């Protein structure tokens, strides 16, 4: 039994290496059990155990009726800090404080590194955000995408892995502040300022506008709590 556990872990590491070496990419479907067993010279039961290990590590996922796939973000949990299980009192404020530490510098870095493609996509997402807000729709998805593109524009893969934390606060922040006067207009104005700063490669302006944007959100959260 002990040897079987060790073998399944070894096979899990072999499959992980295929992903690290880009033989398997995020979103790719794994070969079937028979092919994998032949490729790695082990039994199908060992392959199944190895897959279970990798699923528990958020490296692989099973899509019912389709097969086993490499996760889009291998190794990253959807709730890396366990926010779901934290005391909700003041949690939103703590999330915004975290954003205040991370995002201004992220925006500044993006201003210096964003590619033409990054900027083009950022402009497209901003237009979607503007349309959603103007027409009174929930703009959370466009808002999250906007921040994701800024993270991607840093060209830093570590920063891109921090984004799920930021996304949590965007979702909660929208629910907390959507009914406050001028809330959406201010969101739109700050996003446009950040976008222009990144387009102009003005790191200091990108940093300052992002900081002001997050502080504004924190002020609105306080207003909501005191109502």
Mean pLDDT of 3-8: 71
Are the CB atoms for 80 and 165 separated by under 8 Å? yes
pLDDT of residue 176: 66
* Dihedral sign from CA coordinates of 171, 173, 111, 196: positive
Tallying the residues shown for the chain, one arrives at 227
Q: Phi-psi region for residue 201, left (φ > 0), alpha (ψ -120 to 50) or beta?
A: left
User: Distance between CA 88 and CA 81 in Å, rounded?
Assistant: 14
Least confident of 30-39, 73-82, 141-150, 167-176: 167-176
Do β-strands 60-63 and 67-70 pair in parallel, antiparallel, or remain unpaired?
antiparallel
| DSSP helix/strand/coil, 63 | strand
Residue 194 C-alpha from the chain's centroid: 19
- Flag the least confident range among 6-10, 132-136, 152-156, 174-178: 174-178
Residue 177 has pLDDT above 80, yes or no: no
Query: What is the reported pLDDT for 113?
Result: 98
Instruction: Say what the pLDDT of residue 1 is.
Output: 47
pLDDT digits (tens, 9 = 90+) for 126-166: 999 999 999 988 888 899 899 999 999 999 999 988 887 77
The mean pLDDT value of the chain amounts to 88
Task: Please name each of the domains of the chain with its CATH number.
Answer: 2-70 (1.10.10.10), 83-226 (1.20.120.530)
Tens digit of each residue's pLDDT (9 = 90 or more) over 75-122: 877 677 777 777 777 778 888 888 899 999 999 999 999 999 999 999
Answer yes or no: is pLDDT of 173 > 90: no
């Amino acid at each position: 039994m002990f040897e079987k556990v060790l073998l399944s872990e070894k096979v899990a590491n072999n499959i992980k290496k295929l992903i690290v070496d880009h033989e398997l990419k995020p979103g790719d479907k794994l070969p079937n059990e028979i092919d994998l067993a032949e490729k790695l010279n082990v039994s199908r039961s060992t392959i199944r155990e190895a897959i279970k290990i990798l699923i528990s590590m958020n490296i692989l996922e099973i899509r019912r009726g389709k097969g086993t796939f490499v996760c889009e973000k291998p190794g990253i949990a959807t709730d890396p800090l366990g926010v779901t299980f934290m005391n909700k009192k003041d949690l939103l404020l703590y999330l915004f404080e975290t954003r205040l530490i991370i995002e201004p510098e992220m925006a500044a870095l993006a201003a210096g590194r964003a590619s033409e493609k990054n900027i083009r996509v950022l402009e497209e997402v901003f237009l979607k955000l503007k349309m959603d807000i103007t027409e009174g729709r929930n703009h959370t998805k466009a808002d999250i995408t906007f921040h994701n593109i800024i993270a991607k524009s840093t060209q830093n893969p570590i920063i891109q892995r921090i984004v799920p934390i930021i996304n949590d606060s965007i979702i909660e922040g929208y629910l907390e502040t959507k009914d406050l006067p001028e809330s959406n207009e201010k969101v739109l104005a700050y996003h446009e300022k950040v976008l222009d700063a990144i387009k102009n490669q003005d790191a200091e302006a990108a940093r300052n506008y992002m900081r002001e944007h997050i502080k504004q959100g924190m002020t609105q959260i306080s207003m909501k709590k005191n109502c």
